[in-house]
Amino acid sequence: MKRILSVSFVLAVVMTTTSTVYAQCSNATLNAKYGFIDSGFTASPSRDRAAPEVPIAVVGVLAFDGAGNASQSFTLVINGGIALPGSNTGTYSINSDCTGSISFSVGDAPVNFNIVIIGGGTEVFGIVTVGGNTQTFDAKKQ
């Protein structure tokens, strides 16, 4: 009985370690359009650094070309009162472990995100990495 259990355990370990598929990503993994929603808090539009952060919500389309270029079109609402349609372009970089970053320029200010690719590129999670912002986004392949 012990021998059967030992053989079964070894077989289970071998099957688990040899059948594990590790995600391999690159810029080419993102080569499509994604619908996205972004929400959280951002610096007050009053430009008073002492003012508390205010709610922000964004919805739109994020496009990747597979070669490190990104674009987005969106509708932005800040503090429930300012609705702005917009668009801009930027760049992205993806690591082999499916993490990466996106950078857009909004006027003179950079907006940077750290991201992770889910499901081989079917979904992207992101978080803003610029001070004065607490925002996350979820983008799903269209």
pLDDT at position 33 is 98
pLDDT at position 51 is 77
Q: Facing residues of 128 across strands?
A: 113
Are the C-beta atoms of 44 and 54 separated by less than 8 Å?
yes
Q: Greater confidence, 110 or 116?
A: 116
Alpha carbons 93 and 101: distance in angstroms, whole number: 6
Q: What is the pLDDT of residues 41-57, one digit of tens each?
A: 988 776 666 778 999 99
pLDDT at position 8 is 55
Domain layout of the chain by residue ranges: 25-141
Q: According to the CATH classification, is domain 25-141 in 2.40.128.120?
A: yes
Three-class secondary structure of residue 31 per DSSP: coil
pLDDT at position 106 is 77
Name the strand (E) or helix (H) holding 70: strand 69-78
